[in-house]
Structure formats: C-alpha cells, structure tokens
C-alpha cells in the first residue's frame, strides 16, 4: 500500500527529524515546502531534535513558524564542545525554549571523536535534567548496549521514560528498554535489505511501545536510499513495519501517533482537533 493522499484519519508523526539540517537538494532547501510535502502524505506532527544547546534557539524559531513542529533540547554524544553544560544549563535551555523532550543524548562508541568518559558524564547530566523536568529523554546508542542500559537504570526515571531512537540493536536490548519504561523508534534502516534482524525487532516489540521516525536528512528508506532523507518518507517506514506485523498502515499510523502523545505529553496540546478526533474514533486518547 502506498499512501500519497491519505485522509486525516491516517495521521503520521515523524518522531525524530533534524529540520535545521535540511539538505539543499531537498525541495531546494526550502523547509516549508518539505513540510508541506510531508503534510500532503498525512504527517501531522514533527519532533525537531537538537544535537547541541546552541542549536535550540534555531529550532525554536522553526517551531514558532510551524504549529505542528515541537522541539527537544540536548547534546548529541559525538558533538564536540569547548565546555560541557551541566544539569542546570540543560534544564534552563529546555524551559526557556519550551522543549518537549531532552536529547538527543546517549553513548556512541563507534567513533572516538568524544572520549567515552565525557560521553558518559554528558548522558548522565541529561538523564538528570529529564528527571528534573519530567520530560522524556531521546537516546542515541551505538555499540554501547550495556552501558546505555546501566545509566538509564541508575539515573533515569521510569515514570518519565524516553525512547531509543533510530534503534539498530538487538531484541534483548529492546525488551529491556521497554521494561525500563522506554519506547523503541524505528527509522529507514528497517527497510534495508540486510536489516532482517531489525525487522525481527519490528515484529516483536509491543506495538504500543513503538514509534516511527525519519532521522532526516539521514538514512533515507528504500526506495529513496542514498538520497537526503525528508519527513514525508516516514510513511515508508510505517508501511514496512505494517507489512512485517501483518496489520494495516492505518493501524500503524494511529497507534504510533497515540504512542507519541503518550510519551511526549507536552506535545499533545499542539495536535490539531481533527487528529485528536481520529485518535478518539480509533479508541485512543490523544
């Protein structure tokens, strides 16, 4: 099934995109055009994710121009900084710019551009900020499975929770993250031919703990692999997972949209009345 012009009854959310990093090759670099292209396919909300605190004011400016955009505030594990923000600075930034989440943050041991001890302390600060603010945390994890889970257990708040975004790890990690109050978000990688183990995750993670995302402009799904990614293509991610689970794309969209609002509670008031009604009609509380 390919949805080109869905009704509002099929509302998608791109739960993780970098709208401040749109490629010049994507709709001529015009963010408004890119967002309109996504809206035309039924994408009704976008979470624009921060990789540094310095970038948060720019994301807030985008949010202020687009009522269906919400933002996060945080520091990516591989972001190189002259000085590290403490918990208070992260909290202040998130409050000032009305972020709905903290991150993306976490651990990435694939590269050595930021020392591991710095990454760990940075992650801890953001987990503490998440707890203090009651805002969910967006976690990036790569080749750091056990330490990521250990720090979440020690410093995270299960009542607040978060999401392992662009998930590429194994089913055991996904299950433990769910047990710790987290959601699992899948991106375009799930559509890749060599991603069968990730499709196994897509089939077996509880549907009420799943999100979908693009991580645009990175990791475009099949059939756009190799091109700069864009929010409109979150539909391809939903279609792939729906096929794996043998459910309709409509069910996939409605469930993941409801999950998004359950996790990112501060984003729920921004959803429009038609989407809220669609969720209610499907038996979800928006």
Q: Per-residue pLDDT tens for 175-189?
A: 999 999 999 999 999
Q: What is the pLDDT of the chain when averaged over all its residues?
A: 94
- Bind-site residues for a divalent metal cation: 16, 18, 104, 140, 165, 215
Q: In whole angstroms, what is the distance from residue 209 CA to residue 190 CA?
A: 16
| Residue at 286 is within a domain | no
Q: Is residue 7 part of a domain?
A: no
Which tens digit of pLDDT belongs to each residue from 213-227? Answer: 999 999 999 999 999
We report the CATH number of the domain holding residue 20 as: 3.20.20.140
Annotated binding site: 16, 18, 104, 140, 165, 215
**pLDDT bucket at 282, cuts 50 / 70 / 90:** confident
Edge-first strand listing for the sheet containing 12-17: 12-17, 43-48, 69-73, 101-108, 137-142, 162-164, 182-186, 210-212
Quote the pTM value: 0.94
Which pLDDT does position 285 carry in this prediction?
57
Kindly state whether residue 5 falls inside one of the protein's structural domains: no
The tokens of 193 are what?
């031919």
Position 242 in a domain:
yes
Could you tell me the two tokens for 108?
Answer: 């990435």
Which domain does 171 fall in, by range? 12-281
Q: What are phi and psi of 129, to 5 degrees?
A: -65, -40
Q: CA 29 from chain center: how many Å?
A: 22
Token pair in block for residue 263: 């996790």
The rounded distance, in Å, linking the Cα atoms of 105 and 153 is: 15
> Residue 30 CB: number of other CB atoms within 10 A?
12
In the chain, the number of structural domains is 1
Burial of 120 (0-12, 13-18, 19+ CB in 10 A): middle
Q: Give the pLDDT confidence of 237-276 residue by residue, as tens digits.
A: 999 999 999 999 999 999 999 999 999 999 987 777 778 7
Q: What percent of the chain has pLDDT over 90?
A: 88
- Residue 4: inside a domain: no
Buried-state track 54-86, b at ≥16 Cβ within 10 A, e below 16: ebbeebbebbeebebbbbbbbbbbbbeeeeebe
């Amino acid at each position: 099934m390919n949805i080109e012009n869905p009704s509002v009854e099929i509302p998608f959310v791109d739960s993780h995109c970098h709208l401040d990093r749109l490629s010049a090759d994507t709709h001529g670099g015009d963010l408004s055009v890119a967002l309109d292209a996504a809206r035309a396919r039924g994408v009704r909300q976008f979470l624009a994710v921060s990789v540094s605190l310095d970038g948060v004011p720019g994301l807030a400016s985008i949010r202020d121009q687009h009522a269906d955009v919400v933002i996060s505030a945080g520091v990516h594990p591989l972001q190189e900084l002259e000085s590290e923000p403490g918990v208070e600075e992260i909290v202040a930034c998130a409050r000032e710019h009305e972020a709905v989440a903290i991150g993306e943050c976490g651990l990435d041991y694939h590269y050595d551009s930021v020392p591991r001890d710095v990454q760990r302390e940075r992650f801890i600060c953001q987990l503490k900020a998440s707890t203090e603010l009651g805002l969910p945390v967006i976690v990036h994890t790569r080749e750091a499975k056990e330490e990521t889970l250990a720090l979440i257990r020690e410093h995270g708040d299960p009542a607040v929770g978060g999401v392992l975004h662009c998930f590429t790890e194994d089913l055991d990690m996904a299950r433990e993250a769910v047990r710790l109050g987290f959601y699992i978000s899948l991106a375009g990688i799930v559509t890749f031919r060599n991603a069968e183990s990730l499709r196994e995750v897509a089939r077996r993670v509880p549907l009420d703990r799943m999100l979908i995302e693009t991580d645009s402009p990175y990791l475009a799904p099949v059939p756009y692999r190799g091109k700069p990614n864009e929010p409109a293509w979150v539909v391809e991610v939903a279609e792939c997972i729906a096929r794996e689970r043998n459910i309709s794309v409509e069910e996939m969209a409605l469930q993941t949209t409801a999950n998004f609002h359950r996790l990112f509670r501060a984003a729920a008031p921004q959803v429009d009345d038609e989407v809220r009604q669609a969720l209610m009609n499907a038996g979800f509380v928006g």
